[in-house]
Amino acid sequence: MIISVVSGKGGAGKTTIATSLAYILKADYYDLDVDAPNGEYFLQPQDWQSRRVHQLQPVIDKDACTACGLCTHECRFHALYKILDTIYLTDTLCHSCNLCQEVCPEGAISYQQMSIGEVRTGLSERTAARAIIGDLTIGSTRGTALIQDIVRNLDTTTGHVIIDGPPGNSCAAVAAIKPAELVVLVVEPTPFGIHDMLQTMEIVEGMQKPVVVVANKSQDDAPLQAILEKRGYAISASIPLNSDYHRLLLDGEILSQASQHVHDVLQQAISTEVAI
């Protein structure tokens, strides 16, 4: 089963829960929080292998270009612009959609490969499974494309897969939710956390994914419980705000390995959805 662990709000504890589930299920762990992947801090993989991920980027032949401006007009992402008789590209805005090459009447646009990131795969002794880490090239805005590439190459042949998605509710988060057969929604039960969770919930409901809600760093579940009940959900696991847990995480421990209580509540939360 492919399980995506997501949260609307950053800092809700998504990686804490994702690495804990990887430990419980002895599952391959995919870190798709490609802007700031940190799951390896807990899983401590070794024997790394890596591959680079590329995307195409337009190159304009100045001799062939007549500066007609059609490509700048058609580019939906405003990645091309014209100053005097020269066309310029803002590569961080380009989505490699190929439209500019299609519309150019002079055949002046070709493509070159551009590295957008790296995918590293290591073996974690702690989970007895693989950790696959997506690293977005610094400065690149193509996180969604990198996530989509990793998702296309998901390997489910060795058992369950845990996806640690990016925070927020952007295209990148949608790309990490898309392959999921089960979504684990991690919520910090604060007004801010609940607000962002509701946005994520709309995305997940729109994609018709089964959901398990985990309240993390909880001091009072009642407001969250009331909101979830109105939508037909319940809190499946609640992990309290606990300074001991913070210390364990600072020491690089997988929380479900270090705490039997966390292990048991998370295992119970997913037991109705996942064969363990």
Write out the residues near ligand SF4 by the rule CB under 6 A: 58, 60, 65-71, 75, 77, 79-80, 87, 94-100, 104, 106, 108-109
The 3-class secondary structure across 47-111, one letter per residue, is: EEEEEEEEEEEEEECCCCCCCCCHHHHHCCCCCEEEECCEEEECCCCCCCCCHHHHHCCCCCEEE
CA angle 162, 172, 204 (to 5 degrees): 65
- CB-based contact 8:177 (threshold 8 Å): no
Nearer to ligand SF4 by Cβ, of 67 and 227: the residue is 67
Nearer to ligand SF4 by Cβ, of 111 and 233: the residue is 111
Nearer to ligand SF4 by Cβ, of 84 and 250: the residue is 84
Instruction: Name which of 273, 266, 272 is nearest 24 in CA terms.
Output: 266
Nearer to ligand SF4 by Cβ, of 68 and 171: the residue is 68
CB of 87: closest distance to ligand SF4 in angstroms?
5
Nearer to ligand SF4 by Cβ, of 109 and 197: the residue is 109
Instruction: For residues 90 and 79, give the distance between their C-alpha atoms in angstroms, rounded to a whole number.
Output: 5
Give me 242's structure tokens: 């606990």
Instruction: For residues 264 and 40, give the distance between their C-alpha atoms in angstroms, rounded to a whole number.
Output: 23
CB of 178: closest distance to ligand SF4 in angstroms?
21
Q: What are the strands, taking DSSP E only, across 80-210?
A: 80-83, 86-89, 109-124, 129-136, 161-164, 182-187
Residue 237 amino acid letter: A
CB of 35: closest distance to ligand SF4 in angstroms?
21
CB of 53: closest distance to ligand SF4 in angstroms?
17
CB of 15: closest distance to ligand SF4 in angstroms?
32
Inter-CA distances, 159 with 28, 39, 114, 178, Å: 8, 19, 33, 19
CB of 129: closest distance to ligand SF4 in angstroms?
37
CB of 60: closest distance to ligand SF4 in angstroms?
5
Q: Token match 């996806």: residue? A: 163
Give me 23's structure tokens: 């430990």
Nearer to ligand SF4 by Cβ, of 80 and 177: the residue is 80
Nearer to ligand SF4 by Cβ, of 47 and 63: the residue is 63
